[in-house]
Chain A
Amino acid sequence: MSQPFRLNKEGLINRNKKISFTFNGKKLFGYEGDTIASALIANGIHLVGRSFKYHRPRGFFGAGVEEPNAKLQVEFNGHSEPNVNATEMELVEGLSATSQNCWPSVNFDVGAINNFLKMFFPAGFYYKTFMWPKSFWYKIYEPFIRKAAGLGVASIEKDKERYEHKFEYCDLLVTGSGPSGLASAYAAAKNGAKVILAEDKPRFGGTLLTDDVSIDNLSGKDWAEKIITELKSMPNVTVKNRSQVFGYYDHNMLVMFERVSDHLEKKSKFTPRQRLWYIRAKETILSTGSIERPIVFGNNDTPGIFLSAAAKEYMKVYGVLVGKKPLIFTNNDSAYETALEFKKNNVEPIILDTREEHSSELIDEAKSKGIDIRFSHGVIVANGYKKVKSAKIGKLNKDKNSFEKIETIECDCICVSGFWTPSVHLASQSGNKLKYEEKIDAFIPDKKKQHETSVGAANGSFTLEESLKHGFENGSNLSAKITETKTEISIPNVNEKKYGAHDKFWCMPLPKNENPKRFVDFQNDVSVSDIEIALREGYRSIEHVKRYTTLGMATDQGRTSNLNGLQLVSNIENKIVPEVGHTTFRPPFTPITIGTIVGREVGMEYMPTRKTPMHEWHEKNNAVFVDAGAWKRPRYYKQGNETLFEASKREAKNVRENVGICDVTTLGKIDIKGPDAAEFLNRVYTNAWMKLPVGKARYGLMLREDGIVMDDGTTTRISENHYHMTTTTAQAANILSHLEYYLQIVWPELNVNVVSTTEQWAGAAIAGPKSRDMLSKLYPDLDVSNDALPFMGYREAEFFGVPSRIFRISFSGELAYEINVKSDHGMFMWEKMMEVGKEFGNQPYGTEALSTLRIEMGHVAGPELDGRTIPSDVSLNGLVSKKKDFIGKNSLGREAFNVESRQKIVGLIPIDRKSSIPEGSHIVQDQNAKLPNPKLGHVSSSCWSVENNNPFSLAIMKDGKNMIGKKFFAVSPLKNKSIEVEVISSHYVDPEGKRVRS
């Protein structure tokens, strides 16, 4: 149970609480406050994964988001999550982590043969090798490559966790709680601004937790704690840890990913796992800090090689030693702090400094502590396969391109520091064009496009004093503009060690005849030689080099590799880095879960479900529902073991013979009021509306301005200036917008108001030869005779004491009525109809029977009005007025709309009178013709005609009615069917329309 690399005292972990977990099946323990990484390192485990391409052994490199290697498959709380960053995931009891991309195990990985074949796997290998034969790609190459190069395994289980979205607004969003972030948030909070402070890590303070500094005589850590405590107590401040602002979008909208409960042992049922915050900030402070960059040398990916700051963080935050014989390899002073920390913990480091012997505050301190410092030295190649065992080091000559002396020294870890790269991702995402800062060999933000200000290390200032000053000033000034209050804050006294200048040195040369892999991008296995190949092969743009070599791609987005990659390209190309430029920074900054993006919009909550007031009745009576937009509509009412086909035939037949009722609540309904309502309708519809009397309905057709049919429906004149319009279920929302567009923009002079009343009314259609008999029982006091209530007539009457509207309109082609009552009375109406209708053989019918009825009557609907047809295509030219102007009229004269051979509506019946014609079938002359077989049209709607007891279809076909009597084939390659058909009229039943008028 001992942890050989755990220090006795140091660290911010809770040593009173042990947490047990497993790694690759081995039972281990760590402490509360550990990450998976710190707990594994404490246990002396460094080999955690295999690299992407060569399957080389890989260990930890960083201590946070910068980690390129340590991605694990982690199981906890019933999840199995791939690609979890071991340096970020907090340890929880019972967690089980396994290595990825290795088989059969991380210790013995068959894929590692790639490493020995690496001369065969240069940049662009896949592009070059798997070009042909083409058919091999899907079946052999791609599955194989995917298997070989995969990361973790995504779970196929349903994610049972809860994820939330939250929308927030603030004056100032501060991204990062390092010294500059804390100072900005504090100053803004004191000015009364609404502040959100976001910290990615569990602990606030950033570098204050690890740097040996003091502020106002407090240690960095204590000062951070003091500020955070005060911020938390202020009502205008929201302080969030475990929250990564990962995307900067338009109009100062930032998106933050909060890890709410993965670190908790117990949580309540409604605690989300993760939360996505959409934050609209008036101003944003980007205090995202900086990431240490490596120096490139041979086998620099061997487990046991760390960034120097990460090694320090493991000691100071987690009380863990990354090694007991450390080599520190640096080109700057910051790594001396790591060395001093080792020394403090009784570990003797050796410092290799690429700079010539000189002096600075830190160097002097290290010297005085007796640390072995070797100037003009660097690591040439790390030795050891699964863990660093020794290093070949060299003394550099003056030009730093060859060696004066080479020796091998023993070590168990190498801590490397190649200076610091500001994290400019968010600034770049906001549209800020970055500029190259020669002083620090890195890009920093330049001219801003949005309301963002980078402070501290993110802006290239690496001293605490400067960072705090920047933070306080910017936090105060930016917020004062918003709150118009300015509270004076004195900038605290700072005690920090002064750094000397760094060495612009980023890649070790190789001695002659030695050629170890030198990695630039660990995550994607991109080495120096890969980039050299890409450039040799003619790739010049850094964006192309990136795509060809995969440099800077995938989950770590080149956080540790970008700048070294740019240095290499600029060296080879003899350009300076700013000329090479940088690749685009894209959100998300760190990987986030799909669950968080989806939020609560899953399953039933994916979209709202609209139910009619009669829904419960349908459910109780075995309705099988179909989605119509967000609506649920009964498709058919199942009796016994009936199939859809049998049930819809029974229901449709009953309408033709007796009477049926259908829930038509879902139809779009729009109330139109105003003195100019008639004129408005006259412009909106193709037919004439000025003379429609009160108490009458009319069928109308709407076009788009390009002449295509947009929608159809009936509109009824309720009173002098009041109309009730119906639209198809699908088009209801569009039509309302369409009407509003014309009223608000095109014809504002018309005094008309429109409002949706779809949900105000419950509707039921009563259809069939016995519908009048049934209606007279429903309205015993009303004269429902053909004279008193003719076709297209309208009445208002009480339905068993409830106000109702009666429309004599028909979709089924039968004698039919539609009754509307207020939604609250919908169920009452329906049940009453079922009760009263019994003696007439009334049965409910669903959308399938409804379709059958309208198809055999030749009534067009969605499948015919498909956004390609004009009125004459669907035999509705009778509704197009020649006398008046209307929306789309001018387009109807277009040449293409008036050619004789244009595809128009016809009816089709199979020659054998038996075979159903699949919808979507193509109509061809010769089913055996050579491809491409000329297509004469397509089948739009199909049904089993209950009237004639054989299949019948509507089709949109070349030459339209001229084809009647001819025979063709309806071919459906999808269903593998070809059916010989005869063209007939689209009006298969009651072509004169006698029934609706009877």
Chain B
Amino acid sequence: MLYIKCPYCGLRAQKEFSYGGDATVKRPNINEEVSSEDWDKFVYMRKSPRGKHVELWQHIAGCRQWIKVQRDTATHEIFQTAKVTEEIR
């Protein structure tokens, strides 16, 4: 079970969180024209890297905040966590 540092609450067990997918996906702006290609990319296309991956988790049984987690998909090592408004490099 992973041990995830919620930037609001501190280190908590994985079972308090739910997974939310790739955090680098950006939704096209509302009310703005978007090509079918870009839209399809946003809805369907995801990278599935082996290694570092910045992803979203929600602290669902805690503060209910969505957070960013940089995790190694092969080893589960977590390098960094951040608020969604913060950048992970």
Contacts and interface: CB of A to CB of B under 8 A. Distances in A.
Interface of A: 167, 249-253, 278, 280, 431, 449, 683, 705-706, 737, 740-741, 744-748, 884-885, 890-891, 893
A884 B2 CA distance: 42
A744 B7 CA distance: 14
B39 A249 contact: no
Interface string B1-33: 111000000000100001010000001101110
Contact of A251 (B34, B44, B65, B76): B76
A280 B5 CA distance: 14
A252 B3 contact: yes
Contacts of B58: 737, 740-741
A250 B1 contact: yes
Nearest to A679: B30
B2 A741 contact: no
Contacts of A745: 56, 66, 84
B45 interface: no
A249 B1 CA distance: 7
Interface residues of B, number: 28
B20 A741 contact: yes
Nearest to B67: A744
Nearest to B76: A250
Contacts of B48: none
A252 B32 CA distance: 47
Contact of B36 (A706, A744, A893): A893
A683 B30 contact: yes
B34 A890 contact: yes
B30 A885 contact: yes
Contact of A280 (B3, B30, B39, B75): B3
B42 interface: yes
Contacts of A885: 30-32
B72 to A, nearest CB: 11
Given A252-B3, A706-B43, A893-B36, A746 B75 contact: no
A250 B42 contact: no
A746 B1 contact: no
B3 A253 contact: yes
B78 A251 contact: yes
Contacts of B34: 890
B42 A251 contact: no
Contact of B30 (A253, A744, A747, A891): A747
B78 A748 contact: no
Contacts of A744: 65-66, 84
Contacts of B75: 431, 449
A890 B38 CA distance: 10
A278 B43 CA distance: 38
A705 B27 CA distance: 10
Interface in B31-89: 31-32, 34, 36, 39, 42-44, 56, 58, 60, 64-66, 75-76, 78, 84-85
Contacts of B28: 890
Nearest to A748: B85
Contacts of A252: 3
Contacts of A890: 28, 34, 36, 39
Given A250-B3, A251-B78, A748-B85, 4 more contacts: A449-B75, A706-B44, A740-B58, A890-B39
Which 8 A-B residue pairings sit nearest by Cβ, starting from the closest? A251-B3, A890-B39, A250-B76, A885-B31, A744-B66, A885-B30, A746-B27, A745-B84
B14 to A, nearest CB: 8
B24 to A, nearest CB: 12
A325 to B, nearest CB: 53
A746 B27 CA distance: 7
A69 to B, nearest CB: 35
Contacts of A740: 58, 64, 66
A733 to B, nearest CB: 8
B43 to A, nearest CB: 5
Nearest to B28: A890
Nearest to B83: A744
Nearest to B44: A706
A251 B2 contact: yes
A891 B3 contact: no
